[in-house]
Amino acid sequence: MKSNETKVGALVVLSAVILCITIYFVGSARFGRSRTPYRTYLKYAGGLAPGTDVLFGGITVGKVTAVHPDANDPTKIEIDLEVKDGTPVNAKSIAKLGSVSLMSAPVLSITTGTNQAVRLQPDSVVPSVETVSMDDMQRQIAALAESAQTLIASVHTDLDNITGDTRQVLANVNDLTGEPNRQHVAQILANTDAMVARTGPRIDQITQNIQTLSAKLGPTVDNVNSTITNANGTITVLRDRTQTDLIELQKTLVEVRGLVDNLQVVVRTNQQNIAYTLENVRMATDHLNDLTESVDERPWSLIRIRQPKDRKVPQQ
């Protein structure tokens, strides 16, 4: 009886194991057929390994299948991954090393990109961006600490100098506000009060005189204003008359210029006649000169027709 029960139990267990294995392989085969492969490249892939989760916009969509150095560029790490079909990985999506929280394992995070970007085909390369590693962060923190120490030392030195200067200023202030200086300031204030008391009546008198002078100058200022107004009117009238005279003078100059131009035209037109006339006048003048000389030499020729014979020289 027990042997039969044992056999039945073993058969049930074996059937359950076969069923689980069948379900596993069928699910794995189905799950594998619904995945889309991609790859990306990083210079630092700290903690990534096959089986690491792949997040798209913070949602788990696949797994990392392989992590190894790139055959063409050993400075890069090639990361193969698979995501669910229908995951909208596009040309603007960016792959980077990330984590869900500070204490969680690293994951490969892919951004959602843009809706207008082209969807990536299977086996395409997803663009990537490097993240700051812990080593780089430690180096930066160490450099920052060194700079902070230098800055603290410099500030400490400056504070010492400022403290010394402050103490010197306080000492100078104490000297300035000492008893001798206070007495001197009190004496100056007393002298100032006495001087104000002495000059107060004089200042009042000067103020009253200024007010009286202002009252007397009022009519004078009014007369000056009237004179200036009259002068402005006179200047305006003279300016108008001057402008009228200048306009008339300009018209006269234009007429004179036209007359001169006409005279030049007449002279150029009658230039030859004027030359002949001047030549005749010159010849008449020459004849008149000859006649005058002849009358001077022989005045008797005016009343005698014949010229007398020349007198003979007496002979001895």
Looking at the fold, whether 75 and 111 belong to one and the same domain comes out as: yes
Please check whether residue 92 lies inside any domain of the structure: yes
Looking at the fold, whether 43 and 70 belong to one and the same domain comes out as: yes
Q: What contacts 129, CB < 8 A, 6 or more positions away? A: 94, 95, 96
Looking at the fold, whether 124 and 141 belong to one and the same domain comes out as: no
Looking at the fold, whether 52 and 115 belong to one and the same domain comes out as: yes
Instruction: Look at residues 145, 165, 185 and tell me which one is the last residue of a structural domain.
Output: 165
- In the chain the first and final C-alpha atoms are separated, in Å, by 228
Looking at the fold, whether 116 and 137 belong to one and the same domain comes out as: no
Please check whether residue 114 lies inside any domain of the structure: yes
At residue 28, does pLDDT exceed 60?
no
Please check whether residue 98 lies inside any domain of the structure: yes
Looking at the fold, whether 99 and 138 belong to one and the same domain comes out as: no
Q: What are phi and psi of 113, to 5 degrees?
A: 70, -140
Please check whether residue 244 lies inside any domain of the structure: no
Looking at the fold, whether 44 and 127 belong to one and the same domain comes out as: yes
Please check whether residue 89 lies inside any domain of the structure: yes
Most confidently modeled range among 13-27, 44-58, 184-198, 216-230: 44-58
> From the centroid of its chain, how far is CA 55?
47
Tracing tokens 């006048």 back to the chain, one arrives at 281
Average pLDDT over residues 30-48: 80
At residue 244, does pLDDT exceed 90?
no
Looking at the fold, whether 124 and 139 belong to one and the same domain comes out as: no
The chain-wide mean pLDDT, for the chain, equals: 78
DSSP 123: T
Q: Is-contact 57 91, C-beta < 8 A? A: no
Please check whether residue 275 lies inside any domain of the structure: no
At residue 172, does pLDDT exceed 90?
no
Please check whether residue 125 lies inside any domain of the structure: yes
Tracing tokens 């000067």 back to the chain, one arrives at 206
Looking at the fold, whether 45 and 126 belong to one and the same domain comes out as: yes
pLDDT of residue 32: 47
pLDDT of residue 94: 92
Higher pLDDT, 64 or 312: 64
At residue 246, does pLDDT exceed 80?
yes
DSSP 301: G
Q: What are phi and psi of 11, to 5 degrees?
A: -65, -40
Looking at the fold, whether 63 and 140 belong to one and the same domain comes out as: no
Please check whether residue 63 lies inside any domain of the structure: yes
% of the chain residues with pLDDT over 70: 81
Structural domain including 156 reads 133-165
Average pLDDT over residues 267-290: 78
pTM of the model: 0.38
Instruction: Look at residues 77, 107, 131 and tell me which one is the last residue of a structural domain.
Output: 131
Question: For residue 313, how many C-alpha atoms fall within 13 Å in the half-sphere facing its CB?
Answer: 1
Q: Is-contact 40 97, C-beta < 8 A? A: no
Q: Which of 41, 101, 46 is nearest to 71 (CA)?
A: 41
Angle at 130 between CA 118 and CA 148, to 5 degrees: 145
Q: How many CB atoms lie within 10 A of CB 184?
A: 11
pLDDT digits (tens, 9 = 90+) for 75-117: 899 999 999 998 999 999 999 988 877 677 889 999 999 999 9
Query: Is 237 strand, coil or helix?
Result: helix
Instruction: Look at residues 121, 147, 165 and tell me which one is the last residue of a structural domain.
Output: 165
% of the chain residues with pLDDT over 90: 19
Q: What is the CA radius of gyration of the chain?
A: 65
pLDDT of residue 45: 85
Most confidently modeled range among 23-27, 50-54, 97-101, 247-251: 50-54
pLDDT of residue 2: 52
Tracing tokens 């007359």 back to the chain, one arrives at 259
Give DSSP secondary structure letters for 3-37: HHHHHHHHHHHHHHHHHHHHHHHHHHHHHHHTEEE
Q: Read off the CATH number of the domain in which 60 is found.
A: 2.40.30
**How many domains, the chain?**
2
